[in-house]
């Protein structure tokens, strides 16, 4: 349970209709299987101790008595374990029959949660047998024990900070006035649903959409345990489509038409952080807390031993900004490309600019920026020749990148201009008294600032805007020359992480109308990422490779996503990074670059505090005017010390 993870399970046992004794054995078998897999919360389907399809047998005293005996047997079996169990059982209270979830732990029955909404349409006729549960909590005397009875009960588990569990049954999630909203507003971070939903054509996909929406809207985890094999097939068939979800994402889904134990590791801390970030979560009629004027919730504190959850079954995409599915990735790239180009088009139109000036180096970022600018000019009906593509070779420029920049500018129909800045930089070295043989940061930054000055002045000459080329990963790490490539008049790539830049350029290559454009784009993709500020090698190759200096961008983008989007602590990010990149980087390398990420991210905030405008394209952004506001002199010590003490 370290770092907020807890393993949970939805179990669909095989049932025999109206045979509670046999069903109790199947529940116990499924429970043992789930516990053996490490599950600490286990959910069974609605009326699993009797079967959902008993019909008028629910009015038989024998069935209800046997169901009670079966429940007692399951409860006794939980003795000695702190696993929290939810099992469906019919229950008589005050002469009325209720469809309930029995909540069990360590040999005890903690509560009964009745179904609030009773369906009585189409194939459902539950009103014939069951009474709806109300909002008010009360009690029931069960085998000489007073047990809480009601739908407004939360089970607060001490082993995971922020873990609070609520229960509902089947139809409760399908209605407009769903209890899940009340549960989430009252503090539930995990909602379990004991269900018996029959299978008809297309209903499975509808369930996925429904439950994903519920989980996302309430920013909670959701365990849906569905009835399956063994239910009566007189009129219906049940497939057992159990699911485990977290904040809208389906973590696990059971195979249909067979008994199954479906497990997943849910991340409670992620949900808590998401709710903390969303200041609108929990707001009720202007209040920022649950409406205390309605029936109060009963909170039952539960102890659970803290154990380290094995999260090997949970997938952490090493490239969280890049969809792994090729079709979705292509759609995402087109969407982002459209956002970038339309954002630029709006800015050009607003300021009345008749041209754009962009420095082209033959690298990934400037290539993407040039493609975006060309699309923006097409949208506005402005000739592409009004795009001034400027190549500015200097000490570190290689023939490969220089040639690619020229070919790309010509192939796109832009106006190419070459300005060799070596002489101007040499004069500047003389003016400031810098030895040109000293290849330090001054040597590098003088070149970057000279290029930016030229671009700005050319923009003034042509009534244009300087288009920024730097991406979000670079500005996160501060890998930009302050008031050099750091500055522009509109930064089209500022919301795009480096790992996604590569796929956007690949997308441009795949959709290029000209073979010449496609060829140069593919060569750009094959070129090492470099600012080319140091002289090439003796054979004319790039000598300065960015990732050798700051670390692999795929690692930094992974860190960036979990630091900004989820606010995870360093140790948690290290843990999931080790799993995500197992086989690609050893643990020591990941730790090294994670420390470097934090150090650069904190010390380089002053550059982010004054970055130019640019379009946001995803859930993670660094604009100081919107998404990320941080003091430039904040200390990184608390984050680094957490990693130092491993």
Rounded average pLDDT over 487-508: 96
Burial category of 433 from C-beta neighbours within 10 Å (exposed 0-12, middle 13-18, buried 19 and up): exposed
Q: Does one domain contain both 264 and 214?
A: yes
315 domain-assigned: no
Per-residue pLDDT, 286:
47
Per-residue pLDDT, 284:
55
Q: Which of 48, 54, 170, 446 is catalytic?
A: 170
Q: Is the model's pLDDT at 292 over the cut of 80? A: no
- pLDDT, tens digit (0-9, with 9 covering 90-100), for 262-274: 999 999 999 999 9
Number of domains the chain is built from: 2
Poorest-confidence range of 154-163, 255-264, 526-535? 526-535
Confidence of residue 288 (pLDDT cuts 50, 70, 90): very low
Q: Is the model's pLDDT at 149 over the cut of 50? A: yes
Q: Does one domain contain both 491 and 633?
A: yes
> Do 6 and 40 meet the contact criterion of CB atoms below 8 Å apart?
yes
Q: Does one domain contain both 445 and 593?
A: yes
* CATH assignment at residue 6: 3.60.110.10
602 domain-assigned: yes
Q: Is the model's pLDDT at 290 over the cut of 70? A: no
Q: Does one domain contain both 78 and 218?
A: yes
Query: In this structure, what token pair is assigned to residue 237?
Result: 């068939």
Q: Which of 46, 182, 253, 274 is catalytic?
A: 46
Q: Does one domain contain both 298 and 355?
A: no
Poorest-confidence range of 295-299, 391-395, 509-513, 545-549? 545-549
* CATH assignment at residue 547: 3.40.50.620
244 domain-assigned: yes
Alpha carbon of residue 205 to chain centroid: 21
Poorest-confidence range of 284-293, 404-413, 562-571, 628-637? 284-293
DSSP letter at 363 equals S
Poorest-confidence range of 43-57, 293-307, 325-339, 457-471? 293-307
Confidence of residue 199 (pLDDT cuts 50, 70, 90): very high
> Do 422 and 394 meet the contact criterion of CB atoms below 8 Å apart?
yes
Rounded to whole angstroms, the Cα distance separating 550 from 590 reads 13
Confidence of residue 93 (pLDDT cuts 50, 70, 90): very high
91 domain-assigned: yes
* Cα→Cα distances 142→21, 69, 110, 147, Å: 19, 11, 11, 7
- pLDDT, tens digit (0-9, with 9 covering 90-100), for 406-457: 999 999 999 999 999 999 999 999 999 999 999 999 999 999 999 999 999 9
Q: Does one domain contain both 260 and 388?
A: no
- pLDDT, tens digit (0-9, with 9 covering 90-100), for 16-28: 999 999 999 999 9
Rounded average pLDDT over 485-505: 96
Q: Does one domain contain both 294 and 410?
A: no
| Active site (annotated) includes residue 170 | yes
Domain that holds residue 444: 326-644
Confidence of residue 383 (pLDDT cuts 50, 70, 90): very high
| Active site (annotated) includes residue 161 | no
417 domain-assigned: yes
| Active site (annotated) includes residue 115 | yes
313 domain-assigned: no
320 domain-assigned: no
CB count in 10 Å sphere of residue 330: 16
Per-residue pLDDT, 283:
63
Q: Does one domain contain both 491 and 459?
A: yes
Q: Which residue has the higher pLDDT, 195 or 401?
A: 195
> 3-class DSSP state for residue 122?
coil
Place of tokens 């973590």: 251
Q: What percent of the chain has pLDDT over 70?
A: 98
Q: Does one domain contain both 199 and 347?
A: no
> 3-class DSSP state for residue 185?
helix
Average pLDDT over the chain reads 94
Q: Does one domain contain both 246 and 347?
A: no
Per-residue pLDDT, 432:
97
Confidence of residue 287 (pLDDT cuts 50, 70, 90): very low
Rounded average pLDDT over 318-339: 95
Q: Are strands 243-246 and 221-226 parallel, antiparallel or unpaired?
A: antiparallel
Q: Does one domain contain both 264 and 376?
A: no
314 domain-assigned: no
Rounded to whole angstroms, the Cα distance separating 266 from 68 reads 32
- pLDDT, tens digit (0-9, with 9 covering 90-100), for 543-586: 777 888 899 999 999 999 999 999 999 999 999 999 999 999 99
Confidence of residue 313 (pLDDT cuts 50, 70, 90): confident
Rounded to whole angstroms, the Cα distance separating 49 from 67 reads 6
Per-residue pLDDT, 279:
84
Q: Does one domain contain both 347 and 267?
A: no
Top mean-pLDDT range of 108-122, 301-315, 520-534: 108-122
- pLDDT, tens digit (0-9, with 9 covering 90-100), for 506-547: 999 999 988 989 999 999 998 888 777 788 887 777 777 788
Q: Which of 40, 66, 115, 595 is catalytic?
A: 115
């Amino acid at each position: 349970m370290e770092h907020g993870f807890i393993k949970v399970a939805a179990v669909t046992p095989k049932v025999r209709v109206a045979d509670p004794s046999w069903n109790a054995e199947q529940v116990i078998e499924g429970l043992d299987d789930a516990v053996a897999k490490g599950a600490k919360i286990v959910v069974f389907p609605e009326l699993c101790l009797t079967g959902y399809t008993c019909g008028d047998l629910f009015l038989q005293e024998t069935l209800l008595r046997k169901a009670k005996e079966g429940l007692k047997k399951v409860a006794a079996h939980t003795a000695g374990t702190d696993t929290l169990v939810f099992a469906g059982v019919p229950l008589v209270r005050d002469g009325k029959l209720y469809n309930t979830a029995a909540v069990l732990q360590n040999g005890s029955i903690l509560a009964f949660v009745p179904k609030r909404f009773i369906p009585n349409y189409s194939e459902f006729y539950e009103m014939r047998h069951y009474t709806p549960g109300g909002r008010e909590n009360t009690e029931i005397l069960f085998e000489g024990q007073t047990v809480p009875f009601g739908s407004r009960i939360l089970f607060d588990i001490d082993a995971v900070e922020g873990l609070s569990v609520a229960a509902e049954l089947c139809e409760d999630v399908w209605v407009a006035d769903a209890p899940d909203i009340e549960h989430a507003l009252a503090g539930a971070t995990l909602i379990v649903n004991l269900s018996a939903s029959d299978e008809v054509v297309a209903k499975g996909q509808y369930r996925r959409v429904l439950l994903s929406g519920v989980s996302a809207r309430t920013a909670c985890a959701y365990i849906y345990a569905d009835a399956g094999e063994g239910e009566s097939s007189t009129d219906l068939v049940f497939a057992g489509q159990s699911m485990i979800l977290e904040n809208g994402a389906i973590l696990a889904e059971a195979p249909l038409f067979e008994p199954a134990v479906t497990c997943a590791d849910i991340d409670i801390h992620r949900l808590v952080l998401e709710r903390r970030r969303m200041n609108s979560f929990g707001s009720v009629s202007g209040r920022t807390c649950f409406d205390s004027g309605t029936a109060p919730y009963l909170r039952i504190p539960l102890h659970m031993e803290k154990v380290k959850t094995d999260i090997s079954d949970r997938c952490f995409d090493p490239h969280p900004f890049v969809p792994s599915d090729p079709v979705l990735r292509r759609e995402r790239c087109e969407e982002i490309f459209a956002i970038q180009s339309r954002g630029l088009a709006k800015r050009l139109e607003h300021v009345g600019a008749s041209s754009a000036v962009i420095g082209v180096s033959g690298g990934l970022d400037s290539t993407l920026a040039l493609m975006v600018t060309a699309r923006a000019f097409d949208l506005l009906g402005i000739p592409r020749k009004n795009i001034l593509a400027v190549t500015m070779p200097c000490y570190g420029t290689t023939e490969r990148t220089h040639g690619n920049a020229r070919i790309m500018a010509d192939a796109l129909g832009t106006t190419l201009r070459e300005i060799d800045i070596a002489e101007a930089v040499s004069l500047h070295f003389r003016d400031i008294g810098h030895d040109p043989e000293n290849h330090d940061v001054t040597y590098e930054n003088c070149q970057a600032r000279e290029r930016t000055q030229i671009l700005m002045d050319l923009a003034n000459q042509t009534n244009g805007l300087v288009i920024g080329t730097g991406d979000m990963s670079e500005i996160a790490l501060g890998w930009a020359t302050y008031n050099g490539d750091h500055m522009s008049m509109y930064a089209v790539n500022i919301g795009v992480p480096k790992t996604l830049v590569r796929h956007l350029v690949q997308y441009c290559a795949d959709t290029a109308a000209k073979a010449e454009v496609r060829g140069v784009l593919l060569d750009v993709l094959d070129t090492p990422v470099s600012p080319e500020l140091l002289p090439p090698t003796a054979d004319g190759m790039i000598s300065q490779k960015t990732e050798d200096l700051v670390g692999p961008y795929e690692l930094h983008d992974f860190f960036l996503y979990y630091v900004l989007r989820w606010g995870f602590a360093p140790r948690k990010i290290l843990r999931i990074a080790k799993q995500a990149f197992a086989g690609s980087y050893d643990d020591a390398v990941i730790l090294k670059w994670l420390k470097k990420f934090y150090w650069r991210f904190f010390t380089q905030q002053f550059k982010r505090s004054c970055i130019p405008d640019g379009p946001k394209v995803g859930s993670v952004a660094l604009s100081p005017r919107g998404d990320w506001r941080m003091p430039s002199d904040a200390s990184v010590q608390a984050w680094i010390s957490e990693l130092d003490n491993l």
